[in-house]
Structure formats: C-alpha cells, structure tokens
Chain A
Amino acid sequence: MSSTATAPAALSPRARFGRTATDLLAEREDLAVVIAEISAQHLEDAARAHPERVINVGIREQLLVGTGAGLALNGIRPLIHTFAPFLVERAFEQITLDLAHQGVGGVLVGSGGSFDMSGEGRTHQGPADVALAATVPGMVIHAPATSDEVEATLRAAAADTGLHYVRVSDRAQRTQIPADGAMHVLRTGSAERGSARRPPLTLIALGTVRDAALEAARALDATLLSSTTALPLDGAALRAHAGAEVVVIEPWLAGTSLAAVAAELDDAPRRFLGIGTSRTELRRYGTPAQHEVAHGLDAAGLVRRIREWSRPTDSPHR
C-alpha cells in the first residue's frame, strides 16, 4: 500500500486522518468512514480493502451526515468527513437532529480549519465551526495541533460512543502535548512580573496557535496552558494555574471559548481577553501564514494585542 511507505510523522494532519481512518477500518469491523468526495485520495487503500465501509455519497453533505447517523442508529460507528464549512455549516441541522436529537454518537472530522485553504477564498474556510459545534448538546470538540495528536484524538474519539467534532488543520505545530483532554502547562510565568496580588498573565492556546502562543508567552513572561480538547475544558487545571488576567487564543472566531473558560474560572475576579479570527470578512487570498498575521494570530500580533490590553500594575482597577 502506498501510504505505508510514508512515515506517519511525515504525513500532514489531514493525510494522517486518512491513514488513521484506514488503520481503524482494518482494526474494527463495526466502523465505517463516510465522505462526500473530499479526501477520497487519502482513503483509496481503505476503499479497496473495505469497499462496504468506505462510503462516498458524492457531493451531498446533508446525505453525508444523515448516512453517518443512520449507520450509528444501527450499531456502526461512523467517521464522517468533509471540509469544515461543508460539514458543520451546510449540514448543521443534520448534526443537531440526525445525531444529537436521535441520541446517537459519531466522529465528525472537519478539515481545512479557518484558512488552510486561504487561496480558495471564503467558501472553503470554516472559522465558525467550533462555535457552531459548541451549541450541539453533548458535543466534544477537539483541535489537535500535530499529526500525532490527530491520530491519538481520532483513536480516542472512535473508541468512545459519544458525539465528537475533530478539527483537523494542516497548520501543524512544533510543540506537541498529550491528546488526553487535559490542560497542559507549557510555560510558567515568573514571579518577577507577577506578585501575590497580581500573578503572571495566563495564556490559553487552543488549536493550531500553540507555537505562536509559546513565543508570545516567553516575550510576555506569561504562563501558557494548552489542550487538544476545546470543549469540555479541564476546569481543575484552569483554576489551578489561571491568574487575574486570562487570554484565550484560538485560531477560529475570536471569543468562541471565552464563555466556557470564564464559567470554569468563576472562583475569583479576573479579566478576560479573547483572541481569534475576526468576524469581519478578510476577503484576501495568499497563504495561511498571511491570514494568521492579518488576524493577529502570529507571535508579534499576539504580543502587541496582549500588551495593549494588559494592566501590569498591582491595582486591579485603574
């Protein structure tokens, strides 16, 4: 098989989805992959080996999710995949009614993130996927940031019976964390800037902004937390490590996770800042890196925005 010749670490996150799905199909007879043409090139070996369990419904996204839900209703664990906006936006009612309302689970895998396909324009960009998925009862939302995290996340989600959304973006990060749902401490801000009354800034990085957030945390001497799970959040770790100023950095719509973070951090008065993609349509092509800069999601943009916002004095009320 052609895909086995490539070392897993060398595969892009999206290609790793295809590889992991192929492996899961071989490992479990009660699992199927449903696609709507997209990523068929990553599933060719799987379709040959398991023609009845790689189901390509053509360019039909309502049917994509409905078919996956029909499989789930009848004891087959579905992996349901297309680009994020086609999956979560176009077929949103199918996600709410065919999966959540019927009381069945499944693994929704949306690829492309907010601007992996920057050159394709707005129609292929999914900055609202996490915000929309978060409205679905019981939905667990994952944003793995490396190829290894993609595989670990998919394996755990497939082994579960619930409803999962896995956001696969090819903006792979250098910094890897365990894909275990926990909030991991990547950096601890020093007490030089902080004090008993004003501990260091706390940055929370969700998704493929981890490297830029780490660089920003160093520049700001901030604490950095990160998790591959965007919902539900690891509240105990948040409460253990968060200071009085909390910045949530996410490469999708700004503010998406702020309410959930704030709800976990209701034990003390704090200030919150949400950094993410802008609600204003960018209307630019170019590269994903250019989009990150345009949204202020590069390290320099993060540092600039957080410095503007932070009040590094001992007085909580200026």
Chain B
Amino acid sequence: MADRTPVIVGIGLSDFPRAPHLDGVQHHVLAAQRAIADAGIDKSSIDGYVNAGGSGGGDMVDGAIAMAEYLGIDHRYLDGTMTGGSSFEFHVQHLASAIRTGLCDTALVTYGSNQLSRMGRALGTGGMHRGPSRIAGPMGYEAPYGNSLVGSYAMHARRHMHEYGTTSEQLAEIAVGVREFAALNPNAMYRDPITVDDVLASKMIADPLHMLDCCAITDGGGAFVMTTAERAKDLPQAPVYVLGAAAAMTHWNVCQQTDFTTCAGEKIAPIVFGQAGLTHDDVDLLMFYDSFTITCLILLESLGFVGKGEGGPFVAEGNLKRGGKWPMNTDGGGLSSCHPGMRGIFLIVEAVRQLRGQGGAAQVPDCEVAIAAGSGGWLSAIGAVLLGKEAP
C-alpha cells in the first residue's frame, strides 16, 4: 500500500526584505514558482491549494479562491483558513489529514505581502482602526481606546513580569540571540549585532516593550509543497516528514484574553508531541513566531520546553542562541530578518531548510527534529508543527 505519510518536498521564498518591484500577488507567485522548482514537480500535478490571503488586497485579490484561479491550479482540495500569523501551521494540520485520507495528493501553500512597500512600518502602531469611524463586531469594543498591536503583546509582557519576575533584560536576550543569526543571513533586514543594553536603550513603544523587542516590517513571500512519502521517492529533495501538527485558540481579540501569561500552546503541546511520539529533548531547532520577544517566551513556556515562569532565566542563560540547547530562529526571525505581516510560513520554510542540511552558516549541527510554532492575532490562535528528517 502506498505510503501516504505527509511530507514537505519543496520550499520557496520570494524577494525580501525590501521588494518594491513586487505587489502582494507577485510575492505569492514568485514564492510558488520557486517552491515548485525546488520540489521538481510539474505544476499540473498540484491538486490542493491553501492560502491565508493577507497581502492587503482582500479575499478577491489574494484569498484562496482568487489565487487558485490566478495561479491556474486545478484543485480538488482548497483551504483558506486565516488565523493571522499562525495560519500556515493550521494549514499543515489540515493538509496532513487531507493528504493521509486522499483528499489530495500534492498541495501548494503560498503567502505573499508587500507590507513594507505598501504601508511603511505602520503595522504595529499605525492605529488599527484608521478607516471607517464605526467598527463592526467585537473589535468595536476595543476601537475607542487607541491600543496598538504592540500594546496587546505588552499587556502580556507586563502580566508575565508581575507574576514571575520576568525582566526586560531577559526579554532583550531573545532579540540579541535572534540578531546573531540574522548576521549570518545576507537577506536579513537587520544584521548588525546588538546588545541587551541596545534593546533597553531603544525607544519604548508600549511599556514594557522597546522598539528592539518588536519585529521588523518587511516585504516577503513564502511557499511550500506537501505530498505523500510515496510520491517523494521520485523527487529530488530529501522529504521532510510531518511528525505532528496541532492548533487551537483561546480567544481572537485581545480583549477576550483571560490569562495574559500563556496561550493555547498549553493545549496543543501534548497533542503534537503525542502524535510524533517525541519529547522536548528530541527537538534540535525552535522556529518560533517572534512578533515580539514576549511571544517567544510565552511559546517556550506554554509548549512545555520550560516550566511556567522559568522562561526568563532560561533565555538569559543563552539557551536559545547559536550553539545553545535549543537554537531559535536560525534565519534571523521576524525580529531581524523577515516579517511581512504573517510570518508563519517562514517558520516552516526555514525548518525544512535546516532539516535538509541547507542552513548554510546558520546550520544547526545534526538537525533531525524541528518545531515550527506560530502565533496569530494577539497570542490568540496557536499552531505547532513537528518536522523530522527521518520517517516516523
């Protein structure tokens, strides 16, 4: 019987961090072309398509329906799930099931956004409600108060500090470690080394988060191809196995968060590790959504890599840095390399690169298992994917 274990066989990135020559749709296209070439498949063999939109054009421009048509994909499986930055971890969860059960054989996932070229760096603090003066739905309960994206994460950091004594210095260590990896990535947005003092001296955006606690705003796009282990036998790249995938949310709008020290990672960690039959010590690489330094800390704790409240001292010991116990965000992350708005796809692309041994100067030695963990919204929708070099 054919081995329908889901595997990733192709990855692609568009041009980044600054690509004024591309609009959002073109980022999707360029990443797709590169992923298809990397996979060594015929475009006509793609029978599943997945896309979270997000380039700012709206569903009718770059949503799953619009892009499936634009790309000319004759699909029998389509998914447009949009959970913000974690969409792509949700997509892997859905596709793993679809591929196992035969709903499709070979699926393409794409993302693209010209966030930087279109809007400048306003995403985090530009005011989420610029447009109509009346805001429909639950966001109307936040609209009159002038919060920012940074502010929502800052409220998590503040409560975490209150309950566990976490410090700004500890959070800064996360930004410093990710920047060390960015220095090794010629395409990264910010490559100059930084220190803890640099982070603390950078402008306060929303207390207690400084500018260097916040991710970059860039252009960029990514894509990957998922198929069965059976089909992968005929393809040029060594397959990367989907060992587990789980996703859940605790709230969407930040006004509905009830525990500002954690996230749905607590719920999905036992599921994803259970599926894979692995423990945290089996993991060689963390690809965590680093929208803000606090995001990484809460993912680290909620996914069970350390106990609750232990994250601050743990990161301060350098455990997430190059050569540390769990190196994190080897591509330079969203903090320093590439964050066009929804970073979740880049977590998967970089994890695959590392598991193939294509990590270049940032290659993690003997990288056999990686976790990609995305956070969408305001630590709202969390997805985690365990990827491995060897068949499960």
A and B held together in a complex: no
Interface positions of A (Cβ within 8 A of B): none
Interface positions of B (Cβ within 8 A of A): none
